[in-house]
Amino acid sequence: MPILCRPSVAVPEYIVTQEETLDFARRLHADNPRLPLALKLITNTGVRKRHLIRPIEETLKHPGFEIRNQIYEEQAKARIPAVVRKALDNAGLRSADIGVIIYVSCTGFMMPALTAWLINTMGFRHDTTQIPIAQLGCAAGGAAISRAHDYCLAHPGENALIVSCEFCSLCYQPTDHDIGSLLSDGLFGDAVAAAVVRGIGGNGVRLERNASYLIPNTEDWISYAVRATGFHFQLDKRVPTTMEPLAPVLRELVAAEGWDVGKLAFYVIHAGGPRILDDLCRFLAVDRSAFRHSRATLTEYGNIASAVVLDALDRLFVEGGVEEGGRGIIAGFGPGITAEMAIGTWAGGRRNGRVAHAATDEHVQVGV
């Protein structure tokens, strides 16, 4: 079965703390009557700090949609190659060994997709399949893992590269004053991540099964309004309630393998916010510590959209993984409301409490 190898994750060099975020909110939205509620919600996210591709003073300015998209392209090309190289090293592969590149991002737009640039500049084969995914938002990390799994099953012996590039700070809209927008201003962060799914060999998560699920009639609960000023994030207050209908879906997926969702060895869950994690723990009857890697991502980086599941998975590797054959689940949630899920078993090659092939235990912080 295909194996999802250790991811590579990089966060930008500019940092904004929660205290700074709250101070900026008080200054920029002083006349908003709902500011006290927004401040409370931001505080309750538990996000200690976030990383940004530009200094906060530049982030808060809006130079126009065209300039923002140029920044997206420039920053992506500057930051992604090092992350991709490390992901390939983690998997023990070269660019020429990759059969498909799955690129996920919801914070900028390019055509041709960045996959074409990667193929032309990083030594990938010119017959490499390209799968760009732009509109699944935070769920795209889970979807990319599933599509990589499907590709490797359909093309025995081939390998897949997943690349996630999320510059959420480029979606800041200074004129949006609703609660959902104000909350997102204090929740989302920037990151780049990559991971390889090997068709044969490797250490990591042996992928067994994947699935998708759409909660009916919720397509307007998480969305973008695309205007002259760019992407305007829209968040419905009902989003935190979605774990109740999604928990049975995760339970059924795991049960299809004859497993018990409450007794898995690892859980890699999208960290959309603390209530989502708390509710899912409760509905799945698992201890709060089971989601510790997702909570750590949220605390240290904020919600980094499609990169969350890769970062949380990397934290599992840093911790040393679980016992050989340990069962687990990976799940991302996003617009739709969509759940993208995969389950698998650990094939991590533990040695001295660490994953045998892991070169370093530190996440990367990179500048341009």
Q: Is the pLDDT of residue 355 over 60?
A: no
Alpha helix (H) ranges present in 256-307?
Answer: 274-284, 292-301
pLDDT at position 176 is: 81
- The residues annotated as belonging to the active site are 138
- For CA atoms 318, 320, 322, 327, the dihedral sign is positive
Between CA 330 and CA 181 the distance in angstroms is 28
CATH T-level topology, domain 3-198:
Peroxisomal Thiolase; Chain A, domain 1 (3.40.47)
Q: Where are the beta strands (DSSP E) in the chain?
A: 3-4, 8-12, 14-17, 49-52, 98-104, 129-133, 159-167, 190-198, 204-214, 222-227, 230-235, 266-269, 327-334, 338-347, 350-351, 354-355, 364-366
Six-digit token pair at 264? Answer: 């898995």
- Per cent of the chain over pLDDT 90 is 78
Contact indicator for 4, 344 with CB cutoff of 8 Å: yes
pLDDT band at residue 34 using 50, 70 and 90 as cut-offs: confident
In this structure, of 81-90, 110-119, 124-133, 267-276, the range with the lowest mean pLDDT score is 267-276
Q: Does domain 204-353 have CATH number 3.30.1490.20?
A: no
pLDDT band at residue 362 using 50, 70 and 90 as cut-offs: very low
Which of the pair, 92 or 35, is modelled with greater confidence? Answer: 92
pLDDT digits (tens, 9 = 90+) for 243-260: 999 999 999 999 999 999
Q: Is the pTM of this model over 0.85?
A: yes
pLDDT digits (tens, 9 = 90+) for 328-352: 999 999 999 999 999 999 997 654 4
Contact indicator for 28, 62 with CB cutoff of 8 Å: no
Which residues are CB-neighbours of 281 under 8 A, at least 6 positions away?
Answer: 287, 288, 290, 291
pLDDT band at residue 182 using 50, 70 and 90 as cut-offs: confident
Which of the pair, 186 or 121, is modelled with greater confidence? Answer: 121
DSSP 303: B
Collapse the DSSP code of 232 into the 3-class scheme (helix H, G, I; strand E, B; otherwise coil) and give the result: strand
Instruction: Provide the residue ranges of all domains of the chain, joining segments of one domain with +.
Output: 3-198, 204-353
Q: Say whether 204-353 and 3-198 share the same fold.
A: yes
